[in-house]
Structure 1
Amino acid sequence: MELTRIGEAAGQRQTPEDLRRREDSKAANNMVTPQEAKERGITWRVAPPEPQVCQFCGQPIQPQGIVLQNMVFLWRPNVRCTCEKAVAYWQEYDRKQAEEKARKEDEERRRAMQSRIDRLLGNSGIKKRFQQRTFPNFRTDTPGRQKNYRVAKEYADNFAYHKAKGDGLYIEGTNGTGKTHLAAAIALQLISEGIPVICKTSSDLLLDVKKAFDNEGVTEAQVLDAYKKVDLLIIDDLGKEQCSDWSMSTLYSILNDRYEDMKPTIVTTNYNTDGLINALTPKGFDNTKIVAIISRLRETSTVMTMAWEDCRGK
């Protein structure tokens, strides 16, 4: 018998929801109305309260007593009738309560994540020059610019939807076409809404990890974890960093974990696919990891191509 129980436990692991239902079931079996207590010979020290009246059907709702060792030690007023209107009302009430609880938990998670980012990395990484790169001041004077603006703005406006799907953006194009501007605009909008975002060049990202080697208060694993778990990671200028076996492995570790956990990532790059593979692969090394990184980024992203004349300084 004991072996059977062990096998069942190993094969049917109890989830928190299973345990909650089990406790609710146990509690329900130990709950009685005053009439049920009398019929079962259960005594009480404190008299039960008067029945409530259902606001929908007008019928009395009997209080329920919690039984311990054949005695009611606590009476609970029962305000939930089983009539159709009452059931519908309380279902909607419970739904709203659950939504509010989830909202508060998400806010707390966001605050904790942002606090962690600030502690480990100093800030979200948007440098002073790009802190004014917002959606309103992005130039939309050509059809191509208008199209890419709409894609980026839609992404920011509907981030919760894209986050749930693990969708990102892959922004490729030549210098001075507004790739970083749109990436920064997305980051600034989401940060203003309280959403944790890290927006850094790939070089700065790798530098943050290296700094942890000499920082007694912060470990490499903690920095990597922040990059892997932040709600949105934006890597600007992917391919400009100095490539090495370490940098290739570090980028792969971060981006592969985010891919597997369905965490959205946005990248900007000046290279086409083949050029980026060459830029990220160290000389003499196999490019399998880099090919996998780029393939997964493109697979889970809307690809935006921004190839027109450099507009900086004009």
Structure 2
Amino acid sequence: MTDRSSKDSGRDLARLIGAEAAATKPLRELLGERAMECADHGAYRSSGVHFLGIKEIWTPCPDCEEARLAAQRHAEAQEQAKRARAHLEAMLDQAAIPKRFMERSLDNFVAETPEQQRALSFAREFASNFTHHAKRGDGLVLSGLPGTGKSHLATAILQSIMPAHVGLYITCAGMIRAVRATWSRDSERTEVDVLRELSSVDLLVLDEVGVSGGTDNEQELIFDVLDRRYRDMRPTVLLTNLDRARFKDFVGERVYDRLTETARWVTFDWTSYRPTASKQFAVERARTA
């Protein structure tokens, strides 16, 4: 045997002996406690552990460790809140809620009369039990003069069901424009895309139904969207200034028949809500400024 092969054999034997020795050592050996000094908090007792006879680890100052964990929890909470705010802002943007109504909620709706309290009660119930209503395809028709708070309650419902559910706010005219825009040659979306979006969101709020006289094509579009949502059991909230008879004439017999089956009619039979609402929001802004 040459000197070189002897040396290699010796090294192999040493590694084998070292591996066997390491294998006989416990993975984790307790070293007991010892007194230690923290520059910030003074004396404390530290517990030590020996891993594989190689590395010693001693517990840090408990006050320092608690401060570190508290800072970590705070940073994680801030990051979580930041993500939640970004998610909510994205959902609000996706829901297309007008900026004027983003501060509207069920809590700041002024309900002074029994009729207003009744309307608010229906809105609260619908929002609170939306999962139940979504399974049944239930909806609402909010009917009343301009400025009575229909859009307030409808957009408040939209925001109340977030982030569990995604909704969409659009006016009747806006829906028709969105469909007509797809007829352009350079449109990136097709009419099918728009109808699919309108038909598939968890909650569709369709405002200003009947503001302008509806053509046969517009009535057919409204029927198409509402019929799709009816068949797929998707809730819809419709807002109109019309009474029942004129609303029926506008949407047509087929749409009205669908709504009679699935939607609750809520009448807003009081004077304009806007002067009272403006004063209330001015007070709220001054208080939170």
TM bracket (short chain): 0.5 to 0.7
User: CA–CA distance in 2 between the matches of 1:147 and 1:273?
Assistant: 18
Deviations 1:206-255 (A, max 9, x none): 11111122243211101001111111111112111442222111111111
User: CA–CA distance in 2 between the matches of 1:297 and 1:132?
Assistant: 29
User: What residue number does 1:305 align with?
Assistant: 267
Structure 2 residue identity aligned to 1:308: W
User: CA–CA distance in 2 between the matches of 1:163 and 1:276?
Assistant: 24
User: Are residues 1:296 and 2:258 paired?
Assistant: yes
User: CA–CA distance in 1 between the matches of 2:164 and 2:136?
Assistant: 20
Aligned length: 188
User: Are residues 1:206 and 2:176 paired?
Assistant: yes
Secondary structure at the counterpart of residue 274 of structure 2? coil
Whether contact under 8 Å (2:181, 2:187) holds in the other structure is no
- Segments of 5+ residues of structure 2 without an aligned counterpart are 1-86, 277-289
Secondary structure at the counterpart of residue 268 of structure 1? strand
Deviations 1:237-283 (A, max 9, x none): 21114422221111111111111221111101111122123445xxx
User: Are residues 1:251 and 2:222 paired?
Assistant: yes
User: What residue number does 2:244 align with?
Assistant: 273
User: What residue number does 1:59 align with?
Assistant: none
Structure 2 residue identity aligned to 1:144: E
User: What residue number does 1:217 align with?
Assistant: 188
Secondary structure at the counterpart of residue 187 of structure 1? helix
User: CA–CA distance in 2 between the matches of 1:170 and 1:234?
Assistant: 10
User: Are residues 1:164 and 2:126 paired?
Assistant: no
Instruction: Point out the structure with the larger strand share.
Output: 2
After TM superposition, the score normalised by the length of structure 2 is 0.61
Report the identity percentage: 32
User: What residue number does 1:235 align with?
Assistant: 206
- Segments of 5+ residues of structure 1 without an aligned counterpart are 1-110, 281-289
Whether contact under 8 Å (1:170, 1:298) holds in the other structure is no
Secondary structure at the counterpart of residue 273 of structure 2? coil
User: Are residues 1:177 and 2:139 paired?
Assistant: no
User: CA–CA distance in 2 between the matches of 1:241 and 1:234?
Assistant: 18
After TM superposition, the score normalised by the length of structure 1 is 0.56
Deviations 1:131-155 (A, max 9, x none): 1111111001111111111110111
User: CA–CA distance in 2 between the matches of 1:243 and 1:221?
Assistant: 21
Secondary structure at the counterpart of residue 146 of structure 2? coil
User: CA–CA distance in 2 between the matches of 1:262 and 1:161?
Assistant: 11
* Superposition RMSD in Å: 2.2
Whether contact under 8 Å (1:202, 1:241) holds in the other structure is no
Matching of residues 62-81 of structure 1 within 5 Å: none
| Structure 1 residue ranges, 4+ long, deviating more than 4 angstroms after superposition | none
User: What residue number does 2:46 align with?
Assistant: none
User: What residue number does 1:86 align with?
Assistant: none
Whether contact under 8 Å (2:137, 2:262) holds in the other structure is yes
Deviations 1:30-57 (A, max 9, x none): xxxxxxxxxxxxxxxxxxxxxxxxxxxx
Secondary structure at the counterpart of residue 209 of structure 2? coil
Structure 1 residue identity aligned to 2:233: M
User: CA–CA distance in 2 between the matches of 1:246 and 1:128?
Assistant: 30
Ranked by relative contact order (alpha carbons within 8 Å, sequence separation 6 or more), the top structure is 2
